[in-house]
Amino acid sequence: MIERVLICPNGNKDKDLAVTNKLCAVLLENGLDSLIATHDVDWRQVLARVQCIITIGGDGTLLHVAKRAAQAGVPVIGVNMGNLGFMTELEVAELEQLPGILRGGWQPDPRMMLQLSVERGGTEIYADYALNDAVLSGGPEARMVEINVRNGDMSLLRVTGDGLIVSTPTGSTAYSLSAGGPVVEPCAECLLVTAICPHRMDVRSVVLSAERKLELSVSARADAWLSVDGNEAFAVRQGDIVTVARWAKKLTLMRVKENGFMERIGEKLS
C-alpha cells in the first residue's frame, strides 16, 4: 500500500516548484505523505522509506531516476511538463487524479533495462545501467568510427560511420528512431542495434534477442565516447570492450491509461 511518495521535480521546468507544492498539498489533503528530492538527496535512505516516485518534468526527468528506482524496486509515475512524452503518464492538469491512482488505480508496466560495462586490459573500469540506450560515437568532434559488434565468438555487425546505438524497446522512440530505427512496443524483450549515419547504404537496424550479450569494440581508426541515457560520455579507447546486455532488474512504470503508448505514437509521428 502506498502511504509515502518521493517527488522528483525538474528545477528547469518547475522553476518555482509551484507544481511540486500543489502536488504535495493534494497528497496531504488525501492522507498521503510526500518527500521532495533535493540535489544532495541520499537515494538509498530515501527510497527505503517510500513506496513510489512521482517525477515532474518530462521523459528526461524520469530517466534520471530510472536506475535508482529499478535497483530499489520502487515504481515510478511521471507528470509531464515538457513536450509529448512517451514515458510520462499524466499532465499537470491531472494532478488531482493522483491520490486515487496511488490507492490502486494503476497497473504495473515493467520495462527492460540494459547493463553496461567497459573492460580495459582485463579490468572493469566503468559500469552503468540504461532505460533508453547506450551510444558509442565519435564524440563532439563527430569523428568517423569503426565499431565491431560481437556475441561471444560470433561477429554480428561492423559499422563505419558516426556511431552505434544499442537500445531497449523503451528507447526505440528516442535516439534510435531519429537514426532510422524501428518503433518497438515497450513490453517487448529485445535489443535494437542502430547505426548512426553509416557510410554504407545497406546497413540497417537489427533487432536481436534480449538473451544476446553484445561486445562492442572500436577499430584502430579512432577512439570513441560512450554515453548512457544521454549522460556524460565516457572515453573508450582502442582495445576496450564495451559489454551491453539485459539487466536482471526492470523499471516498473505506473500506468493508468489503456493503449497509452499507441496513442502517443499516433500523436508523435503525425
Same domain for 141 and 233?
yes
CATH of the domain at 38: 3.40.50.10330
pLDDT exceeds cutoff 90 at 201: no
pLDDT exceeds cutoff 70 at 234: yes
Domain boundary among 65, 82, 105: 105
Q: Report the candidate in 95, 93, 46, 98 with the shortest Cα–Cα distance to residue 74.
A: 46
Same domain for 192 and 134?
yes
Confidence of residue 15 (pLDDT cuts 50, 70, 90): very high
Confidence of residue 222 (pLDDT cuts 50, 70, 90): confident
For the chain, how many structural domains are there in total? 2
CATH of the domain at 197: 2.60.200.30
* Between 252 and 263, residue with greater pLDDT: 252
Predicted local distance difference test score (pLDDT) of residue 270? 63
Report if residue 117 sits inside a domain: yes
Q: Report the candidate in 13, 57, 51, 47 with the shortest Cα–Cα distance to residue 32.
A: 51
pLDDT in tens, 132-158: 999 999 877 768 899 999 999 999 999
Is residue 5 within 8 A of residue 35, CB to CB? The reply is yes
Domain boundary among 54, 86, 105: 105
Beta bridge partners of 146: 160
HEC profile for the chain? CCCEEEEEECCCCCCCCHHHHHHHHHHHHCCCEEEECCCCCCHHHHHCCCCEEEEEECHHHHHHHHHHHHHHCCCEEEEECCCCCCCCCEEHHHHHHHHHHHCCCCEEEEEEEEEEEEEECCEEEEEEEECCEEEEECHHHCCCEEEEEEECCEEEEEEEECEEEEECCHHHHCHHHHCCCCCCCCCCCEEEEEEECCCCCCCCCEEEECCCCEEEEECCCCCEEEEECCCCCEEECCCCEEEEEEEEEEEEEEECCCCHHHHHHHHHHC
Predicted local distance difference test score (pLDDT) of residue 90? 94
Report if residue 256 sits inside a domain: no
Cell of 168: 531497449
Predicted local distance difference test score (pLDDT) of residue 200? 85
pLDDT exceeds cutoff 90 at 84: no
- Cβ–Cβ contacts within 10 Å for residue 267, how many? 9
- Cβ–Cβ contacts within 10 Å for residue 104, how many? 9
Same domain for 235 and 171?
yes
Can you give the residue range of the structural domain that contains 167?
113-248
Report if residue 259 sits inside a domain: no
Report if residue 253 sits inside a domain: no
pLDDT exceeds cutoff 70 at 170: yes
Contacts of 221 (CB under 8 A, 6+ apart): 144, 145, 146
Confidence of residue 85 (pLDDT cuts 50, 70, 90): confident
Confidence of residue 268 (pLDDT cuts 50, 70, 90): low
Report if residue 196 sits inside a domain: yes
Same domain for 39 and 94?
yes
pLDDT exceeds cutoff 70 at 63: yes
pLDDT in tens, 189-200: 999 999 999 988
Predicted local distance difference test score (pLDDT) of residue 96? 97
Same domain for 70 and 139?
no
Q: How far apart are CA 201 and CA 140, in angstroms?
A: 24
Report if residue 72 sits inside a domain: yes
Same domain for 140 and 196?
yes
Question: From the candidates 14, 16, 42, 59, which is the catalytic residue?
Answer: 59
Answer yes or no: 202 catalytic.
no
Mean pLDDT value of segment 55-59: 96
Q: How far apart are CA 262 and CA 185, in angstroms?
A: 8
Same domain for 49 and 169?
no
Same domain for 144 and 243?
yes
Report if residue 267 sits inside a domain: no
Report if residue 27 sits inside a domain: yes
Q: How many residues does the chain have?
A: 270
- pLDDT > 90: percent of the chain: 86
How many CA atoms lie within 13 Å of 244's alpha carbon, on the beta-carbon side?
Answer: 33
pLDDT in tens, 31-51: 999 999 998 999 999 999 999
Region for 230 from its dihedrals, namely left if φ exceeds 0, alpha if ψ lies in -120 to 50, beta otherwise: left
Name the pairing type of β-strands 4-9 and 145-151. Answer: unpaired
Same domain for 167 and 52?
no
Same domain for 43 and 128?
no
pLDDT averaged over the chain?
93
95-99, 139-143, 159-163, 177-181: least confident range: 139-143
Confidence of residue 221 (pLDDT cuts 50, 70, 90): low
Confidence of residue 64 (pLDDT cuts 50, 70, 90): very high
Predicted local distance difference test score (pLDDT) of residue 253? 97
* Between 133 and 82, residue with greater pLDDT: 133
Tell me the backbone φ, ψ of residue 265, rounded to 5 degrees: -60, -45
Same domain for 148 and 79?
no
Domain boundary among 86, 105, 124: 105
Same domain for 75 and 9?
yes
